[in-house]
Structure 1
């Protein structure tokens, strides 16, 4: 490559040591205990996934962090897309993506006035191609590494992964210029570089904008040094590099001032096309405080209209009621319904991401061929009337809280001050309450740009179904979490504060009032069931913004935090104290119009959370009746342990065939337990001792306000070809006993045909010499842990 003047940077000892310390920090973050106290779980601030390269067997680690932590600067590096390895006891960066960058106006730093004030040119305005990002780097001896943002190699859930498809295209590009993967790998490794490209291939995966075969492949748009601080090549060097190695080049424009950038991008937005084709937007590269700085400019039209059509089609195929924002989308939806009747084959692969553009183009062709008399007034392609653009201003505010945090008071105040829509889940009565809640929110968006989904949303499943329901109508909606994050507090403090609020509000609630004799028990249950936000779980990463709140703060402090955050997110003005005070008084005087019969609900819903109360004989009778109607299947210890995560990090299970099978087939559940006594065994034995034990555990669970915590000590992993279990050596306190001869946690079985009860026979065969008759009893393996695994658990009933 001597004919091109490419920059060179080789990190010195100081830079290498900084990298080593960074990875050690990430490692420590990824190993933080999920349990913050004896009740609470919280997602890890960094997640590590290891991959083994196929040629040298090098272990490379991908690091993924919570999306919202980037905005708050709570990450040790802003790199989005980071792979590392350990060589000679020294960590080094193998792949380095760009720093996380934001849309214009999304952050204070990307508001135009701050772009004008704080950045310097030249400004490289690069077309934002519509595909998925691919990273390419090298290891010693010519070994190439091709990854997607966080993944390398094959995946079990798809025939061909993005990384694999990216490598296939890389081979084709290199072959076209007479070079090999080994050539590129050596160059990238020697110069400590990562090449960054956009994979655009409609035959593999369609997005929104079309890429015919002659335009498909890897669009190279960046070359970064593998350093902690972002050091990226200029666009002219990247273009020269792309031509040399056979990549498709990414078009860019040079502007000297930020004002020129805004005029140019505004002109493209007005024309809605660039060089005769729609584009998603631009990425702008410049300098801020003499460091490389990126921001993006994304266009609503026609890109987001086309995106809406894709989501409309998916909704129709799923037999859901489609809703649209653009006038033209309504005609498109009718056309799709008709085509489903006349040409269903057209949509056979739509859910797999194929046929999206073909369907859209067929509609556009038919639409443009119609006469003006058949069209709605002012309908053009791709122009969209301004009054039809409101969907892109919609914002859903989602409280994530437990009882008594103040979410309804906050919702009432925000609604009063800013005319936000406010839907209370507690107003939904009767059957299908969740469905009614979702429908009420969608309906409220027809008259409001901001709607508050007033519910605890304390479970991941609740957040998942809520966001999915709203996005079927508003696929590009902004979703903001109001997160009362109590994971850093002692839970007794949170209970004390929240229960006092429930008492002080008295009857000003639809259902939970101090008159309910079980209200404290209910508060405790919500606190223990709470699932904190975790952007790595595939649900919470859909929050565009997370506003952290403290449940122990008073209402004024909470509002101050929310006002400051929403002023930048929504552009609202912080109201005067006089109006805030009036709104607070309004919330304090609020009286709900809907009342629920909680005791009846307890009878229907609490078959798995019985509660007897000395304070109310009637409630005790109701609970007893519900218990007689559907008794628990067994009592056990619900353990506070992510079993899968623990086992993944055990070297003893590296390349273990059974464990890999259990993971691949999703046979390891999220929640695990130790069985203490089972109703089946109780009936079979007829033993007075078993009956007394059953009653003892029943009384423990039914005793109001108390939670019985125990500690477990695990010392072995035992498995065969069919199942795996963890052996519990000791339970503390020792009076908590199990009728099983060997207390244990069943990790998983290979199929539904293998029952969890087989674990008893396997363990008795392995440790007591009892001859087992179950499957796989002849191939038992025992792993003795070097140190006991100590975990906590709660005695509860299971159904």
Structure 2
């Protein structure tokens, strides 16, 4: 039955069909996009409310919509919805999370000066619990939908034969839920853990205490046309960073969102009342009328990283926009000791998976190395404990052992480190600035101007002759650093190279590691704005430059050749992702604008950010005249070295189908090994099916046939990937296969342009009996070529130590030559 609530329902015009259909149309259009703003669409069979870990008995589905995390909050990117956690059914929203909101100072609209001018109180401040987010809502028949951020339901709902029975009926009375082990009860027969099912179990536990059922909760939420938003905090199920005792574990309700396209939510007092009615926990809330009082409170808590003598992650602040009275959220997260704890968790995972030599510590260096010295022998002596750690257990216990060993709290350690850092003015510090850019974005002009203003070293790739340019740049950089250390001199060095893709960045970091040179790395990212706009701007600048470039000479090479080079360089651009190696090596990222006439603006941005983060690098910010003079001098730069190389005929090492849509497929595969690969940054950046490799040319003539075909379409190949996008393919992927070392997608059918003369003689189905797409390997020492033999063994029935999940999907691709 619908439960009577102590507050009235909020109605909205956006519940009406027209508003809902308008959103669906925008979502569908976004799902057809490529690049920025693309929506990823996937259907999910949701959980049965029967108590068994199996899908809904009627086979019903909901559709989930997901956007790239880095697309949120970008003024130049329009998303169909700002919601994180969005599910639809029958052309209307059934689950709706919050609009994406940001930490204080993270984006322009969360800087204090903007908030003070554009957001009004009263301000509701809620404690940020440290668990995993859940959404739950109800269907008209009383079925409760429980979703994690982007998914719900079984991983492979087709197989019900071994679904573990948790409870035999809807009412939580036939089994004592308080005695359930949440970690085991929320895993399927393959050991895959489900956050949404764990949430369902916890909800039942809370409802039982109030003599209520899932149906009661579902019908009440359906009547409100709202989604309950909560945090699942349970260390028995999965530890995060901050500890929760068994008494503190449960569902912490913190939101009731209307299922409307425009974000709208119930005020915190109503959320608290709803939680109390259904026996759930609710987050603590404080109210502040003025922004002055709010700032004073947050600053006071920030000093200790605690609230009411308990470590917390931070707060969520809720207000209203001054112009439209729309709900406005922002986070105020405490840096310490939370970030230090999280850092220890991540380096421990890397220590277990890759060994100490592969652990790169960039924050809290001294104390984190002490921590590693402490935990490394413990985990080496107890592999079972290491396995538990990787599965989310024992994280807090191991950390507490270390803190007990030192006899200090986490906050005491971070304060001690802050005091030690105050003496860094007497110590040698070295900062290396690496751009992430394409040709013509203004990075060299900016670098030259910074050199002129502050005397920072400038090493330009185009001034280095021969091969191994990246290695030579790092060698010169390390020489400067070591010379400076002899004189106890701190330095800033700009390595002026594009570094546009992850491979190039990793190569540079690896070279620094080989030379045992460990500066602080800063990124100048020129990835702002629209891809096409950036490519057009770069082209216009390069053409205007004419012969005034070491390696791209417009008059010598011709506009057509320059255009091809520019397109290739722009396609290779891979933006910064600081959560994943190698980009996690950067201490900070400085975002530089990419549009006409902004180099002066970027100059000021870099100077200001460097002074704020590393005060010794910029003693005094320049005057406008000093900025102007440095900028003018940089614009007058003329290259002294001509790096134009004699063209050479390159031949492909292998010919392949570059495949689109692989990441979308991977989002449907919920395996611990895939999660490990994602966490450790071991997923490949591009995906392909090799059709013919030069190493096999003695066995068959496919490599020659395909190479000749490529030569007719693209006579002059470049080093790297040469995309031939007008030659289309379709491939069929029946399943994903993994063995703990490598994960691959099996390919059993390749459909190509058989009507083309040079390809008509090739039987694509017999190019290789074991076609596949390598997804990733567990370690750098494991070669991707292991995928082929693994797929072969699976198909021949030798499946010991392997797992697989059926996919049955068709993917599109195009021909590519890899030189």
Could you report, residue by residue, the CA deviation over 1:437-479 in whole angstroms, capped at 9, with x for unpaired residues?
99999999999899866432322444678899999x99x9997
Taking a change above 3 Å as real, the CA distance of residues 11 and 503 of structure 1, as seen in their structure-2 partners, is same
1:727 maps to which of 747, 751, 754: 751
Matched, 1:309 2:344: yes
Distance in 2, Cα, partners of 1:648 & 1:173:
34
2:447 aligns with: 411
- The 3 A distance-change label for structure 1 pair 137 and 566 is farther
Matched with 2:182 is: none
Q: CA deviation at 1:512?
A: 7.9
Indicate which of 397, 401, 413 corresponds to 1:358.
397
Distance across 2 between alignment mates of 1:21 and 1:191: 21
Supply the distance in 1 between the matched residues of 2:787 and 2:369 (Cα, whole angstroms).
Answer: 51
Q: What's the CA shift for 1:115?
A: 3.2
Please list, as runs of the form range in 1=range in 2, the aligned pairs for 1:93-132 lying within 5 A after superposition.
93-132=93-132
| Counterpart contact for 1:61–1:85, Cα < 8 Å | yes
Seen in structure 2, the aligned counterparts of structure 1 residues 158 and 193 have a Cα distance that, compared at 3 Å, is farther
Shift of 1:420: 7.3
Tell me, in whole angstroms, the C-alpha distance in 2 between the residues paired with 1:227 and 1:164: 25
Q: Distance in 2 between matches of 1:25 and 1:515?
A: 45
Alpha-carbon separation, structure 2, partners of 1:591 and 1:109: 40
Equivalent residue number for residue 617 of structure 1:
none
Does the CA-based 8 Å contact 2:728-2:813 persist in structure 1?
Answer: yes
Q: CA deviation at 1:755?
A: 7.0
2:726 to 706, 711, 716: 711
- Whether the 8 Å contact between 1:420 and 1:452 is mirrored in structure 2 is yes
- What residue in structure 1 maps to residue 38 of structure 2? 45
Change (3 A) 1:20 1:439: farther
Q: 619, 625, 630: which one pairs with 1:578? A: 625
Structure 2 residue aligned with 1:765: none
- Counterparts of 1:269 and 1:204 in 2: how far apart (Å)? 29
Give the TM-score of the pair, scaled to structure 2: 0.68
> Given the alignment, which residue of 286, 289, 294 partners 2:329?
294
Q: Deviation per CA, 1:467-508, whole angstroms, max 9, x where unpaired?
A: 99999x99x9997632166732697985574366483034xx
User: Which residue matches 2:168?
Assistant: none
Query: Which secondary structure state, in structure 1, belongs to the residue aligned with residue 531 of structure 2?
Result: coil
Q: Distance in 2 between matches of 1:29 and 1:414?
A: 40
- Which residue pairs with 1:283 in the alignment? 316
- Relative to 1, partners in 2 of residues 1:714 and 1:311: Cα closer, same or farther, differing over 3 Å? closer
2:263 to 230, 235, 249: 230
How far off its partner does 1:61 sit? 2.1
Provide the residue aligned with 1:608 in structure 2. Answer: none
Does structure 1 retain, via aligned residues, the 8 Å contact 2:456–2:494? yes
Q: Does the aligned pair in 2 maintain the 1:283–1:295 contact within 8 Å?
A: yes
Change (3 A) 1:409 1:133: same
Q: CA deviation at 1:12?
A: 4.1
Mapping of residues 253-402 of structure 1, within 5 Å: 253-289=286-322, 290-314=325-349, 316-317=351-352, 318-319=355-356, 320=359, 322=361, 325=364, 328-329=367-368, 331-337=370-376, 339-340=378-379, 346-368=385-407, 380=412, 383-384=415-416, 386-387=418-419, 399-402=435-438
Secondary structure, counterpart of 1:9 in structure 2 = coil
Distance in 2, matches of 1:550 and 1:331, equals 42
Q: What's the counterpart of residue 603 of structure 1?
A: none
The count of corresponding residues between Structure 1 and Structure 2 is 703
Name stretches of at least 5 consecutive residues in structure 1 with no aligned partner. 35-41, 371-377, 600-611, 614-619, 656-663, 763-772, 776-782
CA distance, structure 2, for counterparts of residue 581 and residue 523 of structure 1 = 32
C-alpha separation between the residues in 1 aligned to 2:440 and 2:533? 15
Alpha carbons 2:658, 2:814 under 8 Å: kept: yes
Q: Residues 750 and 764 of structure 2 are in contact (CA less than 8 Å); yes or no, is this contact kept in structure 1?
A: no
The separation in 1 between residues aligned to 2:80 and 2:699, in whole angstroms, is 59
CA distance in 1, matches of 2:631, 2:110: 33
Aligned to 1:72: 75
Aligned partners of 1:177 and 1:477: how far apart in 2?
Answer: 55
Residue 724 of structure 1 deviates from its aligned partner by 2.8
The reply on whether 1:458 has 2:491 as its aligned counterpart is no
- 2: CA distance between counterparts of 1:693 and 1:750? 19
Aligned to 1:26: 27
Matched residues in 1 for 2:80 and 2:662: separation? 27
User: Do the aligned partners of residues 645 and 102 (structure 1) sit closer, same or farther apart at CA in structure 2, a change above 3 Å counting?
Assistant: closer
Q: Relative to structure 1, is the Cα distance of residues 122 and 394 closer, same or farther in structure 2, using a 3 angstrom cutoff?
A: farther
Structure 2 matches for 1:149-298, cutoff 5 A? 149-155=149-155, 159-289=192-322, 290-298=325-333
**Which shows bigger deviation, 23-32 or 379-388?**
379-388
- Distance change >3 Å, CA 9–CA 66, structure 1 → 2: same
The residue matched to 2:407 in structure 1 has which SS? helix
After TM superposition, the structure 1 = structure 2 runs for residues 412-431 of structure 1, keeping only pairs within 5 Å, are: 412-414=448-450, 416-417=452-453
8 A Cα contact 1:62 1:151, kept in partner: no
Cα 1:182/1:383, change in 2 over 3 Å: same
1:483 match: 527
Alignment of 1:739 with 2:761, yes or no, is: yes
Secondary structure, counterpart of 1:215 in structure 2: coil
Matches of 2:80 and 2:710 in 1, distance apart? Answer: 49
Superposition deviation, residue 50 in structure 1: 2.5
Query: 1:358: how far off?
Result: 0.7
Q: How does 1:531-546 map to 2 (within 5 A)?
A: 531-533=573-575
Cα distance, 1:84 vs structure 2: 3.2
Post-superposition offset of 1:186: 1.5
Deviates more, 1:15-24 or 1:483-492: 483-492
1:740 to partner: Cα distance: 0.8
CA distance in structure 1 between the partners assigned to 2:100 and 2:251 by the alignment: 21
Q: Is the 8 A contact 2:20 2:92 kept in 1?
A: yes
Range with bigger deviation, 295-304 or 432-441: 432-441
Check the 8 A contact 2:123/2:290 in 1, yes or no: yes
Would the aligned equivalents of 1:714 and 1:726 in 2 still touch at CA under 8 Å? yes
**Using the alignment, how far apart are the partners of 1:451 and 1:177 within structure 2?**
64
Give 2:10's aligned residue. Answer: 9
Partners in 2 of 1:677 and 1:326 — Cα distance? Answer: 45
1:498 to 542, 545, 549: 542
Q: Partner of 2:137 in structure 1?
A: 137
Instruction: State the 1:640 CA deviation.
Output: 6.2
Matched, 1:85 2:88: yes
Unmatched tracts of structure 2, length 5 or more: 47-54, 157-189, 613-617, 670-677, 737-745, 775-784, 799-807
Task: Check conservation: 1:136, 1:146, Cα contact below 8 A.
Answer: yes
Deviations 1:175-199 (A, max 9, x none): 2222222221121122111111112
TM alignment of 1:498-647, pairs within 5 A: 498=542, 501=545, 503-506=547-550, 523=565, 526-527=568-569, 530-533=572-575, 547=591, 549-550=593-594, 553=596, 556-560=597-601, 563=604, 576-587=623-634, 613=647, 620=648, 636=655, 642=660, 644=662
Partners in 1 of 2:373 and 2:283 — Cα distance?
37
Contact 2:509-2:582 within 8 A present in 1 as well: no
Deviates more, 1:73-82 or 1:447-456: 447-456
Pair 514,704 (structure 1): closer, same or farther in 2 beyond 3 Å: farther
Contact 2:461 2:469 in 1 (8 A): no
In 1, the alpha carbon distance for the partners of 2:301 and 2:683 equals 51
Q: Is the 8 A contact 2:657 2:814 kept in 1?
A: yes
**Counterparts in 2 of 1:381 and 1:323: CA distance versus 1, 3 Å:** closer
What are the Cα deviations for residues 539-581 of structure 1, in whole angstroms up to 9, with x where unaligned? Answer: 8998998957547x4xx43443674698699879995443233
Query: Aligned to 1:240, what secondary structure does the other structure show?
Result: helix
Confirm or deny: 8 A CA contact 2:36 2:77 kept in the other structure: no
Write the deviation string for residues 265-290 of structure 1: whole angstroms up to 9, x where unpaired. Answer: 22222344322211111111122222
> For the Cα contact (< 8 Å) 1:416–1:583, is it kept in 2?
yes
Segment drifting more, 676-685 vs 351-360:
676-685
Q: Is the 8 A contact 1:125 1:284 kept in 2?
A: yes
